Chain A
Amino acid sequence: MNAVPTVPEDGDLLRRLRTGDEDAFSELYRRWQGPMFRFALRMSGSRPVAEDVTQEVFMALMAEGSRYDPSRGAVSSYLYGIARHQVLRRLERERGFVPLPEHEDNPPTSSASNWGELADPMAEAVRRERVELVWQAVLALPAHYREAVVFCDLQGLRYAEVAEVLGCPVGTVRSRLHRGRELLGAKLQSVDPARPALHPAAGGTS
């Protein structure tokens, strides 16, 4: 009977990395560069920024990986924490500057590029325009609402994981996400009246 090869956990890889194991570093990089890059990209709307942030995250891991404390959360939370810090620093530095998502640099991926949609260029163009509209709305959110939306809705993290990264209670994550999505809904309505609209005058039951 063949033994099933076990996949090393992030913590084990990090311990090996500290002893100078380059393979362990590469494995951690391959596991997490994608999520880090996408987080930075979705937060900033800029591929160069995302590239820089990804590099900074792993440089920090290389230099200060010993600072990781397993009792404070998963390795992924530690990495997201570094990425978040780097992104916020850049946003602070470039406050007021919201880059446009580059068409050519952001080719459609996964289900967005299936054959059916490519066969209908108009549908694809409309879809792309809609996605860019949403992205602009996300980029226009204040940073603390934006990161809640990006972590929960774009990165797919659970509330508890986001709370670990942000270092705040789960309730805070939920309220920031709630407010962020509310702002996002209002923003999307203002630029696309065809979307479902709020009716403030409508009566409630409470």
Chain B
Amino acid sequence: MTCASFEAALVDLARGQEVDAEHRAAALAHALRCERCADRFAVDRAVSVSLRELAERTSGAEAPPRVEEHLRATFRRRQQVRAEALASAMPPRRWVWMWATAAAAAFVFVVWTGGRSPRVPQLVEAPPVATSPPAALASATASDENGFIPLTWGPPLSELDGMQVVHVQMPASTLPSLGWTVAGESLGETVDADVLVSADGVARALRIVHPGADERSREDNGGHS
């Protein structure tokens, strides 16, 4: 072994690792013959001993408990914020489905009416609850406190999450099937309505929006009394 190759192996030798037995024996034999390399070896071994002492002296050092406490609190806070953000923001795809459903419903209604005059139909004084609802809606025609009438079977509206209101126009001629009574001359007209669409994109309930109707109804009632 030469001094150069001894120097290359010096650190591994002094650290007592990652050197095979044969290589180690050759290096030590070289050190016995070369004073300079023997000194280099002695110094590097002294460095190893010193570093081992330093490693031992600091081996029990750890972060104080307050670091973990702070990190765990931060973790919880982040998770809470994340959960709230997820709850408040619906995925874009869901929005697309909702609007597509509402648009499709509006389109069907418009086609159905054949684009007749949008004159406001004359709703008669009957309450917006079916007097003789179709069999399929028989158990679901009672409107909720906001005036919505359920359109499908399922849980009560109050138990559904992520509901959205979509404003549409629909033919007045469809109202009788939902329980409203419409004067004959208004059957060909359109009415504004709010469709309650659930998070899965299904239209769940309907409410007729007719600001003038209530007033007119009240006026009419007043006139009769």
Contact = CB atoms under 8 A, between A and B. Distances in A.
Interface of A: 20, 22, 25-26, 29-30, 33-34, 36-38, 41-42, 47, 50-51, 54-55, 58-59, 62-63, 106, 108-112, 127-128, 130-131, 133-135, 138, 149, 152-154, 156, 158-159, 174, 177-178, 181-182, 184-185, 188-189, 195-200, 202-206
A33 B65 CA distance: 11
A198 B58 CA distance: 29
Contacts of A197: 39, 43
Count class of interface residues, chain B: 35 or more
A55 B11 contact: no
Determine the main DSSP class of B at the interface with A: helix
A195 B79 CA distance: 56
Given A26-B72, A204-B34, 5 more contacts: A154-B55, A185-B46, A196-B42, A204-B3, A205-B34
Contacts of B2: 205-206
A109 B60 contact: yes
B150 to A, nearest CB: 36
B10 A178 contact: yes
B58 A38 contact: yes
Contacts of B46: 185, 188, 195-196
B119 interface: no
Contact of A131 (B11, B39, B54): B54
Question: Per DSSP, are chain A's interface residues mostly helix, strand or loop, or mixed?
Answer: helix
B61 A50 contact: yes
B29 to A, nearest CB: 11
B51 interface: yes
A41 B61 contact: yes
15 contacts: A22-B75, A38-B58, A54-B63, A63-B78, A109-B56, A109-B61, A134-B51, A134-B54, A138-B54, A153-B48, A154-B51, A178-B11, A184-B51, A188-B50, A199-B35
A205 B30 contact: yes
Nearest to B15: A153
Given A106-B61, A154-B58, A134 B53 contact: yes
Contacts of B93: none
Contacts of A177: 11
B136 interface: no
